[in-house]
């Protein structure tokens, strides 16, 4: 055999091997493409404290494995920390509003609680249990809570600011909601073997930093829900999440119409939410993505609108005062009117993210909408 024929033989074998490898690669690419078509990417967006993280927790409860006892134990310290953070905020509010304690002992109780470094809290023991319990039953603290419309505590930027002329309200999702939900059941939480309930897990406040993905399987389709931090400093991290987004799920806190931003105490939170929503729905990357608008915290709106009038913050509102339904319909219209594309439908739902049955019902409708919109594109028929 000549050298030339030997080389030709070797080249032939190499060519065959190369062809086989290329065929395997093509086969894998087709498989990956087919699998990708059976995965729907849902991008969860909204400003800080709109309820995105709670929504993710609900998906885990409704469509995932839920929370085992071991998982719940991981939230124990956070529940304790939320209680201390909230009570410290109430104490500062009482001082700022110059509200006196009815019970003399609560002066020393307040001092005791104020000196706690919340980040180091990992247990809930005496004398703090008794101190917080007594403080919560004091008419002075209760008055401060009832007057929460007239102040806010931006814990992350320090201190309390009072504005008699602005009548700005507290952002009480992260600071005051634990007071009403946890302290009403303080005896249970103070038990030595306290195990957080599912509702405790849903209500605990943990600011989202970074990006959280939660995949779950429905009808042989993978729904990959992506939650990103809502604060302005977190938004620069969103960009790499923008590829291949099936649906934008945008959360608005209905109760934030009279609140200010954590990052900027002279900007209305709902105006910031509107600005972000306008940017998202007009962003070129999302032109082929469906948009689902969740108007969240309808329960808090129903409470707040009885004493904080929508017209004071949005003068164009001409509906009846203290009417939650009129208020939420007005807010919905404000957001829908931001859509410049008359052919693009904004699918909307009113929600309470801490209500599992409400979210179960709403997401069933959302799932059907998403699947119907993507039947052909994702080979689901």
Catalytic residue annotation: 49, 54, 205, 227, 231
Of 77, 279, 52, 262, residue with least CA distance to 155: 262
Nearest CA among 200, 218, 297, 229 for reference residue 258: 297
Which parts are annotated binding residues for Mg(2+)?
Answer: 53, 208
Spatial distance between the Cα atoms of 42 and 290, rounded to a whole number of angstroms: 10
Q: Return d(Cα 98, Cα 95) in angstroms, integer.
A: 5
Per the DSSP assignment, residues forming a β-bridge with 291 are 248, 346
Round to whole Å and give the CA distance between 242 and 187.
Answer: 46
Residue 325, beta-bridge partner list: none
Specify the 3-state DSSP secondary structure of 97.
Answer: coil
Q: Residue ranges for the binding site for GTP?
A: 49-54, 202-208, 227-231, 296-299, 353
Structure tokens at 334: 């404000």
CB 270 within 8 A of CB 252: yes
* Cα separation, 30 vs 336, whole angstroms: 39
What CA–CA distance (Å, rounded) separates 243 from 333?
29
**Cα separations in angstroms, 215 against 43, 188, 224, 226, 322:** 12, 33, 4, 8, 40
**Positions at the binding site:** 49-54, 202-208, 227-231, 296-299, 353
């Amino acid at each position: 055999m000549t050298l030339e024929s030997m080389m030709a033989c070797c080249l032939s074998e190499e060519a065959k091997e190369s062809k086989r490898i290329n065929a395997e690669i093509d086969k894998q690419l087709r498989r990956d493409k087919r699998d990708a078509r059976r995965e729907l990417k849902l991008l969860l967006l909204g400003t800080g404290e709109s309820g995105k993280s709670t929504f993710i927790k609900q998906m885990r409860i409704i469509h995932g494995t839920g929370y085992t006892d071991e998982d719940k134990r991981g939230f124990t310290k956070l529940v304790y920390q939320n209680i201390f953070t909230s009570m410290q905020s109430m104490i500062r509010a009482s001082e700022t509003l110059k509200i006196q304690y009815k019970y003399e002992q609560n002066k020393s109780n307040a001092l005791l609680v104020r000196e706690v470094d919340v980040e180091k809290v990992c247990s809930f023991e005496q004398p703090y249990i008794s101190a917080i319990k007594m403080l919560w039953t004091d008419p002075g603290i209760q008055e401060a809570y009832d007057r929460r419309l007239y102040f806010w505590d931006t814990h992350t930027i320090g201190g309390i600011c009072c504005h008699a002329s602005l009548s700005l309200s507290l952002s009480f999702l992260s600071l005051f909601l634990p007071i009403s939900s946890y302290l009403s059941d303080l005896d249970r939480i103070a038990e030595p073997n306290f195990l957080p309930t599912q509702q405790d897990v849903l209500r605990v406040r943990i600011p989202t930093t970074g990006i959280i993905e939660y995949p779950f399987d429905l009808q042989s389709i993978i729904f990959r829900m992506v939650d990103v931090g809502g604060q302005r400093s977190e938004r620069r991290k969103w960009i790499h999440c923008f590829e291949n987004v099936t649906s934008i799920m945008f959360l608005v806190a209905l109760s934030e119409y009279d609140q200010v931003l954590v990052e900027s105490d002279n900007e209305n939170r709902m105006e910031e939410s509107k600005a972000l929503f306008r940017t998202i729905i007009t962003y070129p990357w999302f032109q082929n993505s469906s948009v689902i608008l969740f108007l969240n915290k309808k329960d808090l709106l129903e409470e707040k609108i009885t004493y904080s009038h929508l017209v004071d913050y949005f003068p164009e509102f001409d509906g009846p005062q203290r009417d939650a339904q009129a208020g939420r319909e007005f807010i919905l219209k404000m957001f829908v009117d931001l859509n410049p594309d008359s052919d693009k439908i904004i699918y909307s739902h009113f929600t309470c993210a801490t209500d599992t049955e409400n979210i179960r019902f709403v997401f069933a409708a959302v799932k059907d909408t998403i699947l119907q919109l993507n039947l052909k594109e994702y080979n689901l028929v």
